[in-house]
């Protein structure tokens, strides 16, 4: 067992999307937030993940190798 953690390589951004397509949306009922790539044609988030803190948002950007605005 190794105590040194290796950096995981960043995932490629899904094909039809760009870094500018990342959006955080919030539910009006529960206030639950999700982050993902916004598809303008379908008008919905794709590859969405639940966000509980700003650290989760940073982790999403880091996962895809995108600099956070």
**Under a CB-based contact definition with an 8 Å cutoff, are residues 54 and 61 in contact?**
no
* Residue pLDDT, tens place only, 14-66: 999 999 999 999 999 999 999 999 999 999 999 999 999 999 999 999 999 99
CA of 57: how far to CAs of 3, 19, 41, 52, 60, in Å?
26, 14, 24, 8, 5
* Residue pLDDT, tens place only, 7-24: 788 899 999 999 999 999
Q: Using alpha carbons, select from 8, 5, 24, 16 the residue that is nearest to residue 65.
A: 8
Q: Any idea where the domains of the chain sit in the sequence?
A: 19-63
pLDDT at 1 over 60: no
Confidence at residue 40, expressed as pLDDT on a 0 to 100 scale: 95
Confidence of residue 6 (pLDDT cuts 50, 70, 90): confident
């Amino acid at each position: 067992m190794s105590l040194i953690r290796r950096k995981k390589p960043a995932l490629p951004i899904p094909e039809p999307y760009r870094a500018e397509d990342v959006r955080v949306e919030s539910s009006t009922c529960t206030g639950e937030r999700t982050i993902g790539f916004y598809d303008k044609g379908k008008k919905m988030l794709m590859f969405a993940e639940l966000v509980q803190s700003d650290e989760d948002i940073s982790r999403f950007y880091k996962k895809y190798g995108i600099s956070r605005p």
